Structure 1
Amino acid sequence: MVTIELLRRALKLELPDVPFDDEVLEHLAPVDPEAVDALQAWLPFLISHGVAFDEESAGEVFRRLAQRLRSLARPEEARPSSPQPRQPEIPEETEKESVQIPGLEEWLETLSLSAYLPKTRAWCSRVGASTLQQVMEKWEDLAAELLLKELPKRRMGKAVEACRPPAAGDDRTIADLIARASAERRLFGPEDDPYILSEQLGKGAQGTVHRCWRPKHKGEEFAVKRIALQKHFRLQRDADRTKERLKAEANILFSLRHAHIVQLFDVIETKEWLYLVMELVEGGELFDIIVKHENKHLSEPEARSVFKQVADALRYIHSKGLVHRDLKPENILVDQKASRDGLLEVKITDFGYAKLVDDGYSTALTQVGTPQYWAPEVSDAGVCAKGYDERVDLWSLGVVLYVMLEGVYPFSGEEQIKQASFRFHRPTSSRAKDLIRALIQVRPEDRLGLDDCLKHSWIQMDSRSASALKPNSLEGDIECFDLDAEPSNVAELRRELQKFMTRFKVSAQLKKRQVEVTWSKNVDREAARGALLQILRCSQHRSQCKQGRADAIPSLLAASEATCE
């Protein structure tokens, strides 16, 4: 029998950078790793957590994990213990409450102050610091609280100073800032206009998210998703395929320009790292807002405002032929600066599992995302193998609304999901219940569409959130390049388009014998068009050669200036 604690230890040793929450552990602990069907139970979770991309790679990870579980289950032989290094003496902490701040543990570790983590967390609770940035702003108070001696105190001060963009009147030159960041290996991007990596904001299955800024742009700040390529690929055999999936996320984000979707600005690849530079949204995840709410759930006006923004963003995503596939409160960020009058402004993030399904070349077939938000056609492996479409996001949207209003998940098992069987535990209004039930429907065709969601009586009943949605002023210019024939090698053409995307920082997506480009403001369109036409000419020439017309001269591709519908 595998206990939850044993499973947690095995995962920490075998997959140290991959977080598995307690609900997943409770679901998997009863599974006998020696059973014939054990891999099938683990398969969707290994894929959804980004450590495998198919059954073969999941099997390799699972075999290592099963071996680790067997070794941990054996009683260890008694052996003399080696002396442990003496830890600094820390006054015993009396504070009962503490907060979990992304990046805090890692930051203290870099300062050789890991032993002070419990006391630091308690101090954060007391002073109301909920982000690493707020901790750094009060670092001198923290140093005094921890009774730090002069050397570690100076070390903390220097670390804070290094992460801080220059303020007005700061006498540090740009060259000084860049030189110091380079020496500390916190520099990335082009040599003539680099980014400086700052404190960690969060951590996920694929990598870490940090604050970063550009010295030559008056300290303009961004968030950067930083993925260790070599470390990530040790878990998977097909490194090239994994890298393509990460770049596909970037290509999707470059094509999306919407007020309620986190914007991607830059993609930088080195031998060791892949950096996705994105809009900095400060306010945390919607999930944390819900669980920390005084009522442990949102009020109906609060939930209504969030729902409307998310539904509008989803409508835009689906209009691009995309499925998000991992919609949940953890992937909805709160924009604290833009929030007003007790109503939250939010943005959808994390398109790592998004899929382009309306391109004429691919279908969504895999179990990815988070099981608590899976639609029945995703949770059932047999049905999933036949394919699904954007209506899986409608189910997830209904679950998100339920979680916002109820503060708990609607389902406790797969059978309940298959039957869409759930109950309400709070005095939620009848109109809100009606909208949730209209979305959480077993048959995809029975789910309420997004246009009808935004016209629903529950949405219209509050004048504050029933006002017209903001026009989407962020949408970039779209240009379509027609192909004379079907590409002979779709995967190869997509790889070339991803290289084009990395070079010019624009989205280029293959859709039904067209390549759709979403232009950004600062791109050199003439140079980009020339490079893209060359890629497409080569692709068309290969197609003609494969069809036995090697001596045929490819016709010039028509570059349509018209906006794609």
Structure 2
Amino acid sequence: MPDDLADELQSISFGSSERSGSSTISTASGSCSSSSGPLSKPHSYTVDPLLATIRRLRSESSANSLSISDLRFIQRLGSGDIGSVYLAELKCSGKEAGVMAAKIMDKKELEGRNKEGRARTEREILEMIDHPFLPRLYGVAESDRWFCLLTEFCPGGDLHVLRQRQPCRRFTEPAVRFYAAEVVVALEYIHMMGIVYRDLKPENVLVRSDGHIMLTDFDLSLKCDPTAPTPAHVISDASSLPLTSTDFSGSSSCILPSCIVPKVSCFQYPKLKRKKRHFSIRRGGGSGNAGPSLDLEVVAEPVDLRSMSFVGTHEYLAPEIVSGEGHGSAVDWWTLGIFIFELLYGVTPFKGNDNEMTLANIVARALEFPKEPVVSASVKDLITGLLVKDPTRRLGSTVGATAVKRHPFFSGINWALLRCEKPPYVPPRFPVSASSSKREAEDVSDDSCPGTPVEYY
């Protein structure tokens, strides 16, 4: 590590968010095409002085890019599978422009672990997306050794840490409804962009300063070929959507040909009857043309996007990933079910004594709900529909977020005005203490990598 960088990288960490007995795993080598630069984002929702300053610095640079030397690192926020995250600011403007999260990765380590493609893919994804519940990419800073992604900073921390601070270490049902609704909207958007997230968990859902969420950490995401458009179709009414788990019936045969415990039966669900509908849109209308109204919605899911990679966090892995049968966007709806379950009960439903037992439980064990706390039948029904082991019968697998949003658990949610909902928790102002960080500077060396769990991204 260069001397000037070593002087500025600090090693203050706080609020452990380590998940006991679980880890993020990947056996896939990422690959992607080179990117020529950030895409145009006409729908940016705020004017950001930090982004404006970074653009000015880039325009003044001969290489049209930021350097690591342009940044001042204030505090270390945590570390993850392929990098460490720091609170940083621009040297030229300091806190007047604002602070940001800097995810810094060693290029040599990335190459050695064959994960450079994942870092580049994450950058490409962040350049594509522009949504209130997803991170804003400020830019990329590089040196000969270091690669750094600069994104917005969330002072509220992650939902895993926040859950541990709740009474009995679990959220109330209204709070779960709020956070789950915003995650659904974020997943809906990235699916329409042709991206499968694959790593939803409370650690990757951050709380912004206004209390709303931000879905983060896209280094395990799967991005489709940009030349292959996401198929879209139109649905007319709720009658064609499976809303509850009572729409399914179970049988005792195993659905996974490569099941690791084939002698233990799991659930299979019959095919849903689907009707193809064709619509013509006519101009004009009025009281004279009054007739039955149709609630039309255009749905786009990356249904043809498939991967054989073994990626994710053990307790959140979908059965089709464990079995190695290949997976698509339906894995995100499985992880949503695990996510809601953990926020409600403080535990995940299939956790075993070790990772191998956890994977066996995911494939073979039936879903069971704890007796405490007492929750509504609608949220149990939603979780049951999301945690269907057959991905083709899973709630959300065919029409995506539309089916999930219409579930009775979310009744009363105004999806168009979700950003106007009052959050269950608004974080206090985040204290930035550069002086205390300097006292810890000697703990960071050129060859060391922070080993604390990820708390913020």
Q: TM-score range by the shorter chain?
A: 0.5 to 0.7
Secondary structure of the residue aligned to 1:421 is: coil
Instruction: Note if contact 1:193-1:214 (Cα within 8 Å) is conserved in structure 2.
Output: no
Closer, same or farther in 2 for the Cα pair 1:190/1:418, shift >3 Å?
Answer: closer
Show the counterpart of 1:374: 317
Show the counterpart of 1:396: 335
Secondary structure of the residue aligned to 1:315 is: helix
Percent identical among aligned pairs is 28
Show the counterpart of 2:217: 350
State the 1:283 CA deviation.
Answer: 0.8
Show the counterpart of 1:169: none
Closer, same or farther in 2 for the Cα pair 1:20/1:222, shift >3 Å?
Answer: closer
Show the counterpart of 1:468: 416
Closer, same or farther in 2 for the Cα pair 1:232/1:442, shift >3 Å?
Answer: same
Aligned structure 1 segments of 4 or more residues deviating by more than 6 angstroms: none
Closer, same or farther in 2 for the Cα pair 1:284/1:192, shift >3 Å?
Answer: closer
> Residue type of the partner of 1:330?
E
Show the counterpart of 1:435: 382
Closer, same or farther in 2 for the Cα pair 1:444/1:231, shift >3 Å?
Answer: closer
Structure 2 residue 102 is matched with structure 1 residue 224: yes
- Can you list the C-alpha shifts for 1:346-387, whole angstroms capped at 9, x where unaligned? 110000000113655974210111011111100113x1xxx3
Show the counterpart of 1:255: 128
Instruction: Note if contact 2:333-2:386 (Cα within 8 Å) is conserved in structure 1.
Output: yes
Show the counterpart of 1:299: 172
- Can you list the C-alpha shifts for 1:58-86, whole angstroms capped at 9, x where unaligned? xxxxxxxxxxxxxxxxxxxxxxxxxxxxx
Q: How does 1:260-279 map onto structure 2 within 5 Å?
A: 260-279=133-152
Instruction: Note if contact 1:420-1:441 (Cα within 8 Å) is conserved in structure 2.
Output: no
1:23 aligned residue (21, 24, 38)? 21
State the 1:20 CA deviation.
Answer: 8.3
Show the counterpart of 1:453: 404
Secondary structure of the residue aligned to 2:118 is: helix
**Cα distance between partner residues in 1 of 2:156 and 2:134:** 15
> Residue type of the partner of 1:214?
L
Closer, same or farther in 2 for the Cα pair 1:22/1:294, shift >3 Å?
Answer: closer
Q: How does 1:139-178 map onto structure 2 within 5 Å?
A: none
**Cα distance between partner residues in 1 of 2:105 and 2:415:** 40
- Can you list the C-alpha shifts for 1:418-446, whole angstroms capped at 9, x where unaligned? 24612111211100000111111111121
**Cα distance between partner residues in 2 of 1:314 and 1:374:** 17
Secondary structure of the residue aligned to 1:260 is: coil
Structure 2 residue 362 is matched with structure 1 residue 417: yes
**Cα distance between partner residues in 1 of 2:18 and 2:134:** 26
**Cα distance between partner residues in 1 of 2:392 and 2:305:** 21
TM-score (norm 2): 0.57
**Cα distance between partner residues in 2 of 1:356 and 1:192:** 28
Closer, same or farther in 2 for the Cα pair 1:207/1:405, shift >3 Å?
Answer: same
**Cα distance between partner residues in 2 of 1:368 and 1:266:** 26
State the 1:231 CA deviation.
Answer: 3.7
Show the counterpart of 2:14: none
Q: CA RMSD in A?
A: 3.0
Instruction: Note if contact 2:305-2:328 (Cα within 8 Å) is conserved in structure 1.
Output: no
**Cα distance between partner residues in 2 of 1:204 and 1:281:** 17
State the 1:191 CA deviation.
Answer: 6.5
Q: How does 1:83-162 map onto structure 2 within 5 Å?
A: none
- Can you list the C-alpha shifts for 1:447-504, whole angstroms capped at 9, x where unaligned? 222112112111114xxx44634589xxxxxxxxxxxxxxxxxxxxxxxxxxxxxxxx
Instruction: Note if contact 2:195-2:222 (Cα within 8 Å) is conserved in structure 1.
Output: yes
Instruction: Note if contact 1:379-1:414 (Cα within 8 Å) is conserved in structure 2.
Output: yes
**Cα distance between partner residues in 2 of 1:319 and 1:346:** 19
- Structure in which a larger fraction of residues adopt helix: 1
Instruction: Note if contact 2:67-2:141 (Cα within 8 Å) is conserved in structure 1.
Output: no
Secondary structure of the residue aligned to 2:312 is: coil
> Residue type of the partner of 1:350?
D
Closer, same or farther in 2 for the Cα pair 1:395/1:283, shift >3 Å?
Answer: same
Closer, same or farther in 2 for the Cα pair 1:318/1:424, shift >3 Å?
Answer: same
TM-score (norm 1): 0.47
**Cα distance between partner residues in 2 of 1:416 and 1:362:** 26
Larger Rg: 1
State the 1:198 CA deviation.
Answer: 1.6
Instruction: Note if contact 1:253-1:264 (Cα within 8 Å) is conserved in structure 2.
Output: yes
State the 1:190 CA deviation.
Answer: 3.4
Instruction: Note if contact 2:67-2:143 (Cα within 8 Å) is conserved in structure 1.
Output: no
